[in-house]
Amino acid sequence: MKYREAGSTGLQVSEIGFGCGGTAGLMLKGSPSERQRVIARALELGINYFDNAPDYGDGLAEENLGSDLRALGAKPVIVTKVEVRHADLADIAGHVQRSAEASLKRLGVEAIDILQIHNGPTRNPPDLQGRAYSQLGLQDFLRAGGALEGLQRVLRDGKARFIGFICRGNDGGEVRQLLQTGLFNMINVPYTLLNPTAGMDASPGLKVAKDFGNVITAAREHGVGVAVYSPMAGGFLTDHFVSGGARHPHSRGLMDPASTEFHRQLSMAREFSFLSVPGKHSLAQAAMRFPLMHSGVTVVLGGYSDIKQLEEGVPASCEGPLSDEMMHRVEAVWRGNFGQH
């Protein structure tokens, strides 16, 4: 395992991290013995960065991670988040404090290493309904009593060491405004072979539903670390999936397998089948190596349903960049927009 500094925090974190979300499902559906076996192996392989959130199983993933780490006697870097929903808008700063306190109890720790807002910034306030939280108006980050004030209160009280937020796409300008405050330490963003716009300008011919505005480069310029989430695009960029395999029993699908969008994503992923080279690397490993080629990326978060997936993903840290030949072929796929119109 190789390590990188998380921006200018001084934290040395593993290039491969452990995502605790519901897509992989281990931290929600795995038995205690199964979870601890996988986490113990992750620690043994050098992973020291665990990414969590209250939304993952309504706090269950935090509870399980906390109890598993105590059972193993381990104290890695722990990241968790705050979801801001419609009901929280009247007192966002207070909600951030309360959410952090609840996470501390579930995790069983005295301080969170990195606390992030799970909403991405938008120019105009989104119409939040019910449990929705994916976005939050930029002014609700920055205003008095807003999300940033809440994060600063948590820092002041010693309940978190560093702070950050999530990028959701089509928000490059807003992300840059938050970075320019100089107050954030870590952002989370997807940077994948299916959509590389978080780390580069879109290739001519490539069409994307969400443009992430090269925010990784901007973060690097501001001394802010970057965690890449969903590097395998929700499981599409795996040999198992492109060959028609079913999801792992622990895994939660992000879309209906009968939907047009599911088949479109699968078709796009199959354009990268050439990245699976027997005896050298799998498609999943190539998908994780790709974001690590960017000097602004700190850690790539794998979502693991079992120990086999973990052991497949970790070697990506030591295998180095994809070859020039491979990248030329990747760029050709982008220029051709995956063969789609």
Per residue in 296-337, pLDDT tens?
A: 999 999 999 999 999 999 999 999 999 999 999 999 999 999
Q: Is the pLDDT of residue 202 over 90?
A: no
Task: Categorize the per-residue pLDDT at 24 as very low, low, confident or very high, splitting at 50, 70 and 90.
Answer: confident
One-letter identity of residue 316: A
Of 235, 301, 312, the residue nearest 52 (C-alpha): 301
Residues 74-117 have pLDDT tens digits of 999 999 999 999 999 999 999 999 999 999 999 999 999 999 99
Enumerate the domain spans of the chain. Answer: 3-339
pLDDT at 244: 87
How much is the mean pLDDT over the chain?
96
pLDDT at 245: 85
CA–CA separation, 289 vs 257, rounded Å? 27
Lowest mean pLDDT among 53-67, 166-180, 230-244: 230-244
Superfamily classification of domain 3-339: NADP-dependent oxidoreductase domain (3.20.20.100)
Chain centroid, CA 245 distance in Å: 24
Residues 255-292 have pLDDT tens digits of 788 899 999 999 999 999 999 999 889 999 999 999 99
Whether the CB-CB separation of 268 and 338 falls below 8 Å is answered with: yes
Could you give the 3-state DSSP secondary structure of residue 223?
A: coil
The answer for 171, left when phi > 0, alpha when psi is -120 to 50, beta otherwise, is alpha
pLDDT at 294: 98
Q: What percent of the chain has pLDDT over 70?
A: 100
For the chain, where are the alpha helices, taking DSSP H only? Answer: 26-29, 32-44, 60-72, 92-107, 138-142, 147-156, 172-179, 215-221, 239-242, 260-270, 283-292, 307-313, 324-335
Residues 67-82 have pLDDT tens digits of 999 999 999 999 999 9
pLDDT at 241: 87
Mean pLDDT, residues 194-210: 94
Q: Is the pLDDT of residue 172 over 70?
A: yes
Q: Is the pLDDT of residue 254 over 70?
A: no
Residues 27-52 have pLDDT tens digits of 999 999 999 999 999 999 999 999 99
**pTM as predicted:** 0.96
Could you give the 3-state DSSP secondary structure of residue 123?
A: coil
Of 302, 273, 224, 231, the residue nearest 1 (C-alpha): 302
For 214-306, where are the alpha helices, taking DSSP H only? Answer: 215-221, 239-242, 260-270, 283-292
pLDDT at 3: 98
Q: Is the pLDDT of residue 19 over 90?
A: yes
Task: Categorize the per-residue pLDDT at 340 as very low, low, confident or very high, splitting at 50, 70 and 90.
Answer: confident
